[in-house]
Chain A
Amino acid sequence: GNSVTQMEGPVTLSEEAFLTINCTYTATGYPSLFWYVQYPGEGLQLLLKATKADDKGSNKGFEATYRKETTSFHLEKGSVQVSDSAVYFCALLSNTGNQFYFGTGTSLTVIP
């Protein structure tokens, strides 16, 4: 079956620190992979995505590389800002294109 496992939170970092949030997946076939972000009081927004192995998704300084050999899609940012404080969800879209599977979410707090 399909599932996503992401690192437990919460994560607290100082401004300008390096961020990694780990995400691994289990899927049949070749899914597409996503990171969504949820700011306080809002719905989820797409942050970045990758549709095939070795693709790198990037947006707003965040990056993630689709690693088929390790079934991973870790989110990274070189220098976080206070405005990056949010909950981050890793997700996969099944190869039938019908259903998303989400991880449990990782809460990030960036302190000045």
Chain B
Amino acid sequence: DVKVTQSSRYLVKRTGEKVFLECVQDMDHENMFWYRQDPGLGLRLIYFSYDVKMKEKGDIPEGYSVSREKKERFSLILESASTNQTSMYLCASSSRTRASEQFFGPGTRLTVL
């Protein structure tokens, strides 16, 4: 069974704090993704990565950065959290040979006060 885990289910931070969201997958997948999910907007891609140390901007990268130092781990970083980054964050992974099958983590609900 593919498992994608995220470091926290719920997180509360203050405006201006630096926030790290961690995602780990155990199936040796090359591709990893970070989305945010907001009511009425669905899922929007923030960043993705095809390999270690590689990253690509998605549709809404502003205010975020990422890190992929190991194949199994993909971190999303909010350099200075703002209230408009309050959202549900979903991590996903897929293999290069079966890119059509994305596996999602349970999500992290982040609240920025």
Contact = CB atoms under 8 A, between A and B. Distances in A.
Interface of A: 4, 32, 34, 36, 41-46, 49, 51, 89, 93, 97-100, 102-105
- Where chain B touches its partner, the secondary structure class is strand
Given A41-B106, A99-B48, A46 B43 contact: no
B104 A49 contact: no
Interface stretch (B63-71, B72-80, B95-103): B95-103
Contacts, number: 50
Interface of B: 4, 33, 35, 37, 40-45, 48, 58, 90, 92, 99-102, 104-107
Nearest to A101: B45
Nearest to B31: A98
Contacts of A102: 35, 42-44
